[in-house]
Structure 1
């Protein structure tokens, strides 16, 4: 079927949460196939996934966000919906997503409205996406966006694989930015749809570590895709902060380890991406944020 969809879920050592999530995914209309990419777990993840009827792909090492690439390559449907062990899709979400992709051939990625926790509060990222600072293109089903939450996105498999999927340089946290830039540069549209709903029940914790990863990965992404002066300013600011701030020193050390790989993957900044980022930078001031490419802080 041209609108068929597979769910790809990458996880590591979260067997207990995974079981409950897979029950919800199996209950979706049409029971779309589920591929679980086990990111070198040492617990019962693979057994839980297999017992729930998912196809299990076991990684020999923790590949971070790029484990999703393995799942997408293994899928044999034109559309792929991502989920995490703590996120799942509302009952009609993927039916609606398929319809949007079928009606909009340029649509490469659809970002869902994300409801967080038992209270189902609107994720701040969803609110930012709905604000539509980039407007709505006539050939897309909703506001144009240049970012998304990976656990609440549906992609056209052709588009995703065509730009290389998620990047091994950033590994985890803020991995969405470079993918979004490359999709737009390749001519694909990215859109937000509030009628496509995902639920996310994060466990919490690790806030400081996540913030450090987001900061590191923001700068790595800049070196891979943004103009050199922007990446250089961010790097110099981090160097300056590292003199007095242990957290910044830690980020700087990790940045230095991955910077050579980022430079190898560098591409010339794309004019359309840069124009969109200028609009988003101005809009982000209204949200109290600094930069729309800041990984998990602002995925506009």
Structure 2
């Protein structure tokens, strides 16, 4: 039997019913990828559901919620050369993982493929697709698509060795916008991150965002500034947040989270190489 080139890591917490839909779609793929579910301390019937309905799915159980770090644990546990991520509300179109593997085989510097995303039962194009396709960084001759600094984790296929080389998702981010920092770190290590529209993922998110998500995203953006971007930018963005916190409860929440993590961010600070910073600025200005 041919060993699959792509394994799938699914991080989940307390969403057994939507996870079951994801696993049904993954089980139907002709590629038959190995699937590992990393359970982030669920208290619902997630583990029982997997054991009863999907005995071929491997399960890694954490007693607590490790956020995006659960994906890091999954990548270390799987041994396939390429790893696709799914969330408990997303899955891959038939043939997508084989296409991603061919792209990674053909482009040795390619560290991450970010896919076209189709949303909901209507398969609406996610607005991020057009943004990534028009990346101002352009396309390097040894990569299959535009170079980007953003993606959705549930629509990413990584080269396992590149992911581990870059350190995976950063522990200070925990969850929410963690993809940008990984794209920075992959690029800084010389790996390419490309948008490839011929690879397609489906995303069926809940209609309403989780409470506090905007504050978490703002907090994490600024953590990324302190970790990787020039200090003047980090100071300016933090000063803006501080001014907004006087009258905006979400800004105050973001600021509290940032200040709690700022000492660790300064200890772990590793600015981007100049050529990566210049490319990031082009993206930010677009």
- Indicate whether the TM-score tops 0.5: yes
Instruction: Name the counterpart of 1:101.
Output: 104
- On the 8 A contact 1:174/1:217 being kept in 2, the answer is yes
Equivalences for residues 108-257 of structure 1 within 5 A: 108-206=111-209, 209-257=212-260
1:68 pairs with 2:68:
no
Distance 1:2 1:55, change over 3 A: closer
Matches of 1:217 and 1:162 in 2, distance apart? 22
Matches of 1:282 and 1:239 in 2, distance apart? 23
- On the 8 A contact 1:18/1:49 being kept in 2, the answer is no
- 1:268 is paired with a residue whose SS is coil
- On the 8 A contact 1:78/1:158 being kept in 2, the answer is yes
1:37 pairs with 2:38:
yes
- 2:283 is paired with a residue whose SS is helix
Question: Quick check: 270-279 or 196-205, which moved more?
Answer: 270-279
Q: CA deviation at 1:49?
A: 2.5
RMSD over aligned CA atoms reads: 1.3
- On the 8 A contact 1:18/1:48 being kept in 2, the answer is no
Dislocated runs of 4+, deviation >6 Å: none
- 1:224 is paired with a residue whose SS is helix
Question: Quick check: 93-102 or 126-135, which moved more?
Answer: 126-135
Q: Structure 1 unaligned runs (5+)?
A: 284-300
Distance 1:267 1:107, change over 3 A: same
Deviations 1:168-226 (CA, angstroms, capped at 9, x unpaired): 10111000111100100000001111110000000132355111111000000100000
- 2:195 is paired with a residue whose SS is strand
Matches of 2:271 and 2:206 in 1, distance apart? 38
Matches of 1:269 and 1:94 in 2, distance apart? 31
Deviations 1:243-281 (CA, angstroms, capped at 9, x unpaired): 122221121111111112212211023212211112112
Q: CA deviation at 1:2?
A: 8.5
- On the 8 A contact 1:184/1:272 being kept in 2, the answer is no
TM-score by length of 1: 0.91
Matches of 2:145 and 2:263 in 1, distance apart? 38
Matches of 1:182 and 1:193 in 2, distance apart? 20
- 1:110 is paired with a residue whose SS is strand
TM-score by length of 2: 0.96
